[in-house]
Amino acid sequence: MALLLWLGSQLSSLWSNISVLGVFITVFAVLLDFMKRRKKWHHYPPGPVSLPFIGTMLSVDFHNPTHSFKQLQKKYGNIYSLQNCWTNLVVLNGYKTVKEALVHKSEDFADRPYVPMYEHMGYAKNSEGVVFARYGHMWKELRKFTLSTLRNFGMGKKSLEERVVEEAGFLCSAVKSEEGRSFDVHGPVKAAVCNVICTIVFGERFNYSDETYNKLLSFFENSLSEETGFLPQFLNVVPILLRIPGLAQKVFRNQKAFIDYIGGLVDKHVKTWDPAHTRDLTDAFLKEMEKGKEAEEKGFHYQNLRLVAGDLFGAGSETTTTTLRWALLYMLLHPEIQSKVQAEIDKVIGRERPPTMKDQLSMPYTNAVIHEVQRRGDIVPIGLLHMTYRDTELQDFFIPKGTTIIANLSSVLKDETVWEKPNEFYPEHFLDANGQFVKPDAFMPFSAGRRACLGEQLAKMELFLFFTTLLQKFTFVLPKDQPRPREDGRFALTNSPHPYLLQAVPR
């Protein structure tokens, strides 16, 4: 009996100690969380109340962030702060605010935040490609190389423009093969646009039905949706969870598959590489790698080759594909605008000669329509994340070094103080009183400053040549049995149209 009483007292004491320890750990965790979330800076941007541990993550709908940002802008102004767990973010809204940050203070906002998921997919911290690389010597060298290689690419057997014109012909053949049936243009447009970047990076194009090619496109498209939603954001701001065996590979399965697939194409390419002949960007990168340790320190190593190739594939395909899908959707919804574009094409180019970039100067209305598609389509609404490179001030607010920055490009492209009809499709936004093309400074679909899109010039060329070639050869109409397509987009890093069908009537 005495033994039982003694055991009971010992258990009671143990549970008491466990309870005390539990209370201590809880209090310690709450205090630690409070210290991490506490703002110690004067004149830091205002924002919603930060909750324990999760910060302000419940204030944002990660499947439709621009709507959340617009509501927060109404309450807190053009500059406000958020907090993903213990990661500090500042959101910039409106043309004047974004321009001041990205253009006038471009170096202050030129850095990128570290993305933990890449390391947990098997890539070292110094292997970040060119789009997501931290601001510094390595990024500058890789960006300089990439821009120079793209700029000089026309020195080969075919200029870049000729390649796009040729691919536009293949696209028209694919559209014509539908023989007037209702179809989704997404597949052939995506294949055509991606083929252009494949010729630049790997020196070859693929048939639209090629199984390998379509697997690559599928991996990439699915990878975009893996960056959307609460879970991916949460894992990136609480990276310790990514150490759970297999979690990163499961949540970001398509991202890893896409990069690994790119790696396979690179490996295949290396086997046929001849240092005496530079066929494409991959060859040019391999040539830099041959320079040894000095080149490696600048970022020219195998891991970065795979990531740079993946960056260019993503930057040079998804946004242009999505823009062209919006363009054809707006032509379906506004047949009178389609007719005016076709009239200008007939006048300047005719029905037989392929369009060239020189024609763009003589086609102000078509140029205005393409730009309005980019503005109204709002393709990359929140851009890619920036990070402050140093302590800085913006409109009297203090923003410390290392703060993650969201430049809300959607708020620029739909700024009511700049655009006459910001929420309508209105090509006249880009035409003056005499019908000549003008481009307002608030047109920032490619972002701005030091981190402006690498593929901007290529995208502009593709948009003009693909769009004019398609409308030169076809009139696009809504199938009679199809309801009016939705004009709102769906967010998955980019803002893309909901699936729709069309008919292509040969002209």
Q: Residue 457, class by beta-carbon neighbours within 10 Å (0-12 exposed, 13-18 middle, 19+ buried)?
A: middle
- Nearest-angstrom CA–CA distance, 463 and 346: 18
In a domain, 129, yes or no: no
In a domain, 317, yes or no: yes
Q: How many CA atoms lie within 13 A of 255 on its CB side?
A: 20
In a domain, 321, yes or no: yes
Inter-axis angle of helices 253-271 and 281-289, nearest 10? 80
Q: φ, ψ for residue 194 (rounded to 5)?
A: -65, -30
In a domain, 183, yes or no: yes
Q: How far is CA 236 from CA 77, 115, 197, 303, in A?
A: 27, 6, 29, 21
Kindly give, in sequence order, each residue whose CB lies less than 8 Å from that of residue 220, ignoring residues fewer than 6 positions away: 254, 258, 313, 314, 317, 318
Structural domain span for residue 490: 137-506
- pLDDT tens figures, 50-100: 998 889 989 999 889 999 999 999 999 999 999 998 889 999 999 999 999
Q: Residue 17, class by beta-carbon neighbours within 10 Å (0-12 exposed, 13-18 middle, 19+ buried)?
A: exposed
Number of domains in the chain: 1
Q: Are 496 and 322 spatial neighbours (Cβ–Cβ below 8 Å)?
A: yes
Residues paired with 79 in a beta bridge: 92
**3-class state of residue 346 by DSSP:** helix
pLDDT of residue 192: 95
Q: Which residues of the chain fall short of a pLDDT of 70?
A: 1-40, 118-128, 153-158
Q: How many CA atoms lie within 13 A of 499 on its CB side?
A: 4
The one-letter amino acid at 423: N
pLDDT of residue 306: 86
Please write down the HEC assignment for all residues of 91-114: EECCHHHHHHHHHHCCCCCCECCC
- Nearest-angstrom CA–CA distance, 404 and 115: 11
- The mean predicted confidence, pLDDT, of the chain is 86
Q: Are 492 and 379 spatial neighbours (Cβ–Cβ below 8 Å)?
A: no
In a domain, 24, yes or no: no
Six-digit token string for 505: 């009537």
Of 76, 80, 78, the residue nearest 97 (C-alpha): 78
**3-class state of residue 184 by DSSP:** coil
Six-digit token string for 301: 């190593």
Of 382, 357, 348, 309, the residue nearest 462 (C-alpha): 357
Q: Are 453 and 447 spatial neighbours (Cβ–Cβ below 8 Å)?
A: yes
Six-digit token string for 325: 């899908």
In a domain, 78, yes or no: no
pLDDT of residue 33: 47
Report CA torsion sign: 439, 444, 448, 451: negative
- pLDDT tens figures, 184-240: 999 999 999 999 988 888 888 889 988 888 888 888 888 777 777 777 777 777 777
Q: Are 168 and 465 spatial neighbours (Cβ–Cβ below 8 Å)?
A: yes
Where residue 418 sits, what CATH number does that domain have?
Answer: 1.10.630.10
94-128 as b/e, with b when 16 or more CB fall inside 10 Å? bbbbbbbbbeebeebbbbbbbebbbbbbebeeebb
pLDDT of residue 157: 44
Q: Residue 296, class by beta-carbon neighbours within 10 Å (0-12 exposed, 13-18 middle, 19+ buried)?
A: middle
pLDDT of residue 153: 65
In a domain, 67, yes or no: no
Q: Are 315 and 383 spatial neighbours (Cβ–Cβ below 8 Å)?
A: no
* DSSP, residue by residue, 105-149: TTTTT-B----HHHHTTT--TT--TTTSPPSSHHHHHHHHHHHHH
pLDDT of residue 24: 47
Q: Residue 192, class by beta-carbon neighbours within 10 Å (0-12 exposed, 13-18 middle, 19+ buried)?
A: buried
In a domain, 87, yes or no: no
